A and B are shown apart, each in its own frame.
Chain A
Amino acid sequence: MKPRYDLAVIGAGPAGVAGALTASFAGLDVVLIDAAPRPGGQYFRHLPQGFNAQAPGALHHGLDGFTRQWETLRARADVLLGHKVWAVERAEGTVTVRCLEGDREERPRTVTARGLLIATGAHDRPLPFPGWDLPGVLTAGGAQALLKGNLVVAGRKVVVAGTGPFLLPVAAGLAGAGADVRGVYEANGRLGLARHPLLAAGKAGEALGYGATLARHRVPYRGRHAVIAAHGEDALTHVTVARLDSAWRPVSTRTVECDTLAYGYGFVPQLELPVQLGCATRADADGSPVVTVDGGLRTSVPGVYAAGESTGVGGAVLAEVEGRIAGRSAAADLGRRVPPLPRLSRRRERLAAFAKALLEAYPVRPGWQGWLRDDTLVCRCEEVPLSAVREAQDLGATDARSVKLLARPGMGWCQGRMCGYAVACLAGEDPAAPRRPIAQPIRLGDLAAPTRSPLEG
């Protein structure tokens, strides 16, 4: 451990690892920090050693490339896994990263660096609907994480629903791992696998692979369909699937028996750390706040860079390219000689244009609000039903923040990560960049004690 690094990188997904490695090759002293016990982020989530998996690549495309980068990085840079970052500060050209080490003991640790690359990725964007808090209802990413990180198949009879190309790998993964996938319900138009946008990005092989897997397992893939209610006493037993019109209003419904629903309506970039630092944000094509960056992935705050999903949801390949560009910028800004690489920027532009097209092809349409009943929970943590949100609005809460102040959605454990998008929609606005001075819960005892650097053991 060093008292001060040139660059701290938060996030060991494709963006962070590529960024850290590139910066290290360019001569910077780099430290990489991630909350997870293993590298990979969401896409390259690794299995624990305990499985002795001989063919881990079966669960990911391109794992070998990532693994090579990771092994190289480990030999060149310091890596702090199992470190949750709860706050970042910047003063006089030094960034202070405050972490909690360990998944249960949680020792406070402080890392300092001259520059910071934020590559904290995204989480699923669920929409509320009646029964969404029944056990057995999971986010699509959650089902994927169970499989990739624990070799646990999320359920026996599974329905996959929501919107976006991500539903395909999730369904294919579940089917390939032995689940009976009862159907994939895409709320937007089914573009047809042959015309699937993934093809345009030169990911034809990947998309066709998912398609083939689904076809082999005879999994129906329906466009303009959604799960609009989940049923069961203490756990999920069946869902109501609706055919939708173009605004997502239900046209007709039927029941599908299942013990598990894996669903998601896109992703929410995790922005608490850049917001803490005062980085400017903008609304992405889907209205989600993302970090504003220049062509070199510099944020509005000097010495702070962002890459991957934090700058806009675009998948693992774009994340890696952005990481590389950000690593180069960080090195250049600290005076290292970095020859220009216009090819990389052009590649990023192509991939970003494609990501934007995807966001536009799979929007969230307003009709979902009609799926809610008065007693449907909008906020899971504080158990706030739709009626309470409406009452707050009637009292004069005209934006998402004042709805939260009056009715408490977003005040609980998850701090609006799960309901924030929905509450913003219900309030009639784009979601605002999250202000969360505490990015990870921290024990008061740990907050009270003076934090130590890893140097001090």
Chain B
Amino acid sequence: MPDVVVIGAGVVGAACAYYAARAGLDVVVVDRGPVAGGTTGAGEGNVLVSDKEPGPELDLALLSNGLWRELAEFDGFEFEPKGGLVVAETGEVLEALTGLAGKQGVEHTVVPSGGLDDYEPHLAQGFAGGVFYPQDAQVQPMLAAARLIRRGADRFGRGTLMLRTGVTVTGFLRDGDRIGGVTTDHGDILAGAVVNAAGTWGGEVAAMAGVHVPVLPRRGFILVTEPFDEPLIRHKVYTAAYVTNVASDSEGLETSAVVEGTPSGPVLIGASRERVGFDRTVSVPVLERLARQAVELFPALADRRAIRAYCGFRPYCPDHLPVIGEDPRAPGLHHACGHEGAGIGLAPATGHLIAQTLAGHRPDLDLTPFRPDRFEERR
């Protein structure tokens, strides 16, 4: 019998499994699909500290950033510590931006208008300046998830970390009050504890255990360009409007393109944010807006082609914070879901903290802001 069953082989589940195995626990990861086939397969791979307001999410992001750098030694998932450049359209915005950077307490450099060229030679003229965040980085999220599971198995033993794809969790097993495993379409799996890393479907999984965790989809489109022979864009580049969008509560469409090159050649332009349920219908106006913003940042992109667009559904909670920790309403069930547009960046810290609680250690960060039952009082 494994110590832990992790539901979900996305980047968050992979990180939970990796750190739990590292903590000496026997882990089985189950996913109804393949590895990284959920939202992780539709994300962009930004590992950002620059876009977060001071508070619990930034603390999580900073912890995670350091852990990504450690994990990068595994190689094989295109980790690029390239840094992020946030640009401001006006002097007023620049002031707000530098103000935020000061409050964040994150490593940064304020870049005057004339200095932007040194960072991004192809950036449009006319920006008032920007802030450079050297800690911002990038990973290829699908490979990261797959390799974390594989490295965990290689390192800690294949008996210690097992991946089972094509297994759908259908309910929970109980041991008195405690959760003691899962039922699946391929039989029951008894375990000492269960981790709900089902991403956007984390609310459904929680409901199977009779607990309410409100995780909802927030759609995002990403535009992908033709491959470039020579990189046109060196860092992650976005406008200050992004920061306000991320935190927004609006139902409507918001776009503020993060533009970046990738080791495989294409430039990624993403992503939009809309709440439209699980609707995959192409939205041309969304693609147009992303393109417009990208060309406004990098006029040289106008002549290059978009060859692909894809969409995914970020798992978000009403207060825009993830759910991390054991559920007092269902002891033995630990949640690690609802990371919205930052699950890739926040995965290692989440996995690390979950492993600490699973092993009965005090977590490095206070998990109170992420408590699974925090939505009860609002119901």
Q: Which residues on A are within 8 Å of B, measured CB to CB?
A: 87, 89, 96, 98, 276, 278, 382, 392, 395-399, 401-402, 405-406, 408, 411-413, 415, 435-438, 441-445, 447-448, 450
Contact = CB atoms under 8 A, between A and B. Distances in A.
Given A402-B34, A406-B143, A396 B282 contact: no
B186 to A, nearest CB: 13
A272 to B, nearest CB: 10
A398 B34 contact: yes
A412 to B, nearest CB: 7
B302 A444 contact: yes
A441 B226 contact: yes
A241 to B, nearest CB: 35
Contact of A406 (B142, B284, B310): B142
Given A441-B307, A444-B301, 15 more contacts: A395-B149, A395-B150, A396-B34, A396-B35, A396-B150, A398-B165, A411-B264, A411-B308, A413-B307, A438-B287, A443-B304, A444-B291, A445-B291, A448-B291, A448-B302
Given A278-B281, A444-B294, A406 B308 contact: no
Contacts of A443: 302-306
A66 B33 CA distance: 48
Contacts, number: 121
B96 interface: no
A397 B305 contact: no
Given A396-B9, A444-B225, A444-B295, A437 B287 contact: yes
B273 interface: no
Q: How large is the interface on B (under 10, 10 to 19, 20 to 34, 35 or more residues)?
A: 35 or more
B308 A436 contact: yes
Contact of B146 (A96, A395, A437): A395
B21 interface: no
Interface of B: 9, 33-37, 41, 142-143, 146-147, 149-150, 163, 165-166, 221, 223, 225-227, 264, 269, 280-282, 284, 287-288, 291-292, 294-295, 301-311
29 contacts: A89-B284, A96-B284, A276-B282, A395-B35, A395-B146, A395-B149, A395-B150, A396-B163, A399-B33, A401-B41, A402-B34, A402-B142, A406-B143, A408-B264, A412-B227, A413-B226, A413-B307, A435-B280, A437-B221, A438-B308, A441-B306, A443-B304, A443-B306, A444-B225, A444-B294, A444-B303, A445-B301, A447-B223, A447-B287
B142 A382 contact: no
A306 B309 CA distance: 24
A387 B302 CA distance: 36
Contacts of A87: 282, 284
Contacts of B166: 398
B305 A441 contact: yes
B294 A402 contact: no
Contacts of B281: 276, 278
Contact of B305 (A405, A435, A442, A450): A442
Contacts of A399: 33-34, 37
